[in-house]
Amino acid sequence: MVDKITSWKFAEDFATESEVFRDARGRAEELGVECITPAVGAQLAMLASALGAKAIVEAGTGTGVSGLWLLSGSSQAVLATIDSETENQMIAKRAFNEAKIPANRTRVIHGRAIDVMSNMADAAYDLVFLDADRETLEEQLHEASRLLRPGGVVAIAHALWRDRVPDPAMRDDATAIYRDVLRFFSNNDDFVSALSTAGDGLMLASKRA
């Protein structure tokens, strides 16, 4: 049996980031903002590419790391990215500018994810990435289901939550939230779903056509 930890680390190190990505990641570390890992970013970029994504929603802008990955996967995509922290958004805009992403390809929206998403159009988006406001994650998930076009994908970061989700002895609130999210997909025939061990876990689900 292959050493799974070694394989996981190999997969994490397989994806490489340009200087712009690394700079955005460095700013996140300075602010204490947690970013997705490069391996998760690469999976998001692959999804955007495979979907030919034109419209993407991101809940949780951070310093722009995940947004850079999402936009790198599809040259025609427009990203609507939501965050409640103005400082994060300013730094993310800097990252998008450094990456020479045209201004008309990003909509940086200030507010709580659930509030903003509730005002977005039905079945208008190809990809929704959720990485914000864990306390309202289940509500965001229901909004994401509404926002996605048939065949669209929702991706949820931290789905294994510090490797606590698989351990039944772990019963803290955060772990319970992610378990409920996984249960939502395992009991829902409207989605084709898969759980990736990349990063801190990445839940992927495609809305059936």
Q: Which domains does the chain have, with CATH numbers?
A: 4-207 (3.40.50.150)
Q: What count of other Cβ atoms lies within 10 Å of the Cβ of residue 170?
A: 15
Flag whether pLDDT at 64 surpasses 60.
yes
pLDDT reading at 164 higher than 60: yes
CA dist., res. 177 & res. 137, Å (int): 8
Nearest in space to 179 (alpha carbons), one of 198, 199, 163: 163
- What pLDDT was estimated at residue 42? 98
Segment 71-88 shows an average pLDDT of: 97
What does DSSP assign to residue 76? T
Confidence of residue 4 (pLDDT cuts 50, 70, 90): confident
pLDDT digits (tens, 9 = 90+) for 7-41: 999 999 999 999 999 999 999 999 999 999 999 99
Q: pLDDT digits over 84-136, tens only?
A: 999 999 999 999 999 999 999 999 999 999 999 999 999 999 999 999 999 99
pLDDT-derived band at 3, boundaries 50, 70, 90: confident
pLDDT band at 1 (very low <50, low <70, confident <90, very high): low
Neighbours of 62 (CB within 10 A): 27
**According to the model, what pLDDT value does residue 85 have?**
95
Supply the mean pLDDT for the chain.
96
pTM of the full structure: 0.96
Q: Output the pLDDT for position 2.
A: 65
Q: Which residue has the tokens 């939550």?
A: 161
Residues 204/130, Cβ–Cβ less than 8 Å? no
Residue 13's pLDDT is 93
